[in-house]
Structure 1
């Protein structure tokens, strides 16, 4: 009760400072909260102000999501896809961890895998600036410096864009965009597009310069509860330009269509 009284006194004191009529009766040489300080004591009110500021946005939180945890089926291959991320921090500064992996059931091997550790700082109400490191477990175990932005674009598009510079000097970039269309309160259709670019040829990774890949997909999920949503969908994978030529020269398919089934979960 005493803390509640202190909080009320703080609100009243700030109201006095905001009112020109009442402010004329206050001592203009002291802060607007000095009236409460004189009654309860400066130390007690400093503690109460810190508690109010903390509950009003200064606290730290955490969040973890498996955005895509799915099996994709093409004509000649089945693959397990994982795409997850999580963060810890406050409204302005956060530590982000992002991870992606693709496991081939046919070859019984991890074909692609990466993890990112990023410092993130809010630069607007809807976007964060992110910087850190990325390590590729597969293929070729490369380390990259990362800088990018992540947030909510106009018309509620979720955007994640980043540029990478590897220890070998390769410069690449990637942008992902998603949109959630609520068909009902629990049934959600999610279009998703991912595009990759490279500033140079990287023959060891079958990557050509320019726009390298464009993947587009549709996922229809049902939120059993908000934190758990199974889904089905389809994804089109397309290699572009020199990248497509390098893949086809090695006997691979530059374009493929996959049906998929998976689950989206968060906590």
Structure 2
């Protein structure tokens, strides 16, 4: 049943991707290659970015380690993405961890359409998801990543993240970011309620020693809401609070 559900989700996402690509205006791709046809002489390149490798000291809750990274390879038009994020508790135990494998297609100069799969290793029980989303730059140079998910059991959820790099000097960068998670159905075995599950807001100040290495400090506030907060309270967990952060950003 699990394999059939995954294949069904993947097929649905493929149809959605095909429809979106056929609907995209032809001139959107020409914008990216104004002096030559959009598919000629494509150069394949790749990169790895760990936006967050950090440890947080909870002012109102537990200390938490966190990672958030992504890698891509391909041309300006077609790329393969690998994304991962997760958290560890103070004892080193992994509390949450996910991996995404995505195909990305250029829709316009600033926006990519993405579709693929996601696998959550933690929390247990593990889950497979189909993924569909948009990633790019909104007006004002805000970095936006919006994703919708359908699990192997048909549960629907979504995530939206917005961040902005404010250059104080050529090397000193202040980055505010907000992330919100939604769910259409309750998933009690994963302690997920319907509606808005949680909100996280952070402010990180990094110093770019080089383009590749940027240590930072910051603060964050996270809050679980609705039934998700109720599940946490029933298990004796904190529903949110402030944390002081220190970490490093790596780009290869």
Could you state the TM-score of these two structures normalised by the residue count of structure 2? Answer: 0.82
Name the SS of the counterpart of 1:58 in structure 2. Answer: coil
Residue number among 21, 30, 50 corresponding to 1:66 in the alignment:
50
Q: How does 1:40-189 map to 2 (within 5 A)?
A: 58-75=42-59, 76-106=61-91, 108-139=92-123, 140-189=125-174
The match for 2:225 is 240
Provide, for residues 199-241 of structure 1, a one-character-per-residue CA deviation record: whole Å limited to 9, x for no partner: 0111111111011111000000000111110000001001112
SS of 2:229 mapped into structure 1 = helix
Q: Which segments of 5 or more consecutive residues in structure 2 lack a partner in the other structure?
A: 1-35
Aligned to 2:242: 257
Deviation at 1:77, TM superposition (A): 2.4
**Residues matched between the structures, number:** 215
Change (3 A) 1:103 1:57: farther
Distance 2:213 2:126 in 1: 33
CA gap of 1:57–1:265, structure 2 versus 1, over 3 A, is farther
- Poorly superposed stretches of 4+, deviation over 6 Å: none
- More RCO (CA 8 Å, sep 6+): 2
Where in structure 1 are there 5+ consecutive unaligned residues?
1-51
Tell me the C-alpha RMSD between the 2 structures: 1.7
Shift of 1:253: 1.2
- Whose radius of gyration is greater, 1 or 2? 1
Q: What CA distance in whole angstroms lies between the structure 1 residues aligned with 2:71 and 2:53?
A: 15
- The C-alpha deviation readout for 1:178-212, integer Å capped at 9, x for no partner, is 00111111110000100000001111111110111
Determine which structure has the larger helix proportion and give its number: 1
SS class of match (1:146)? strand
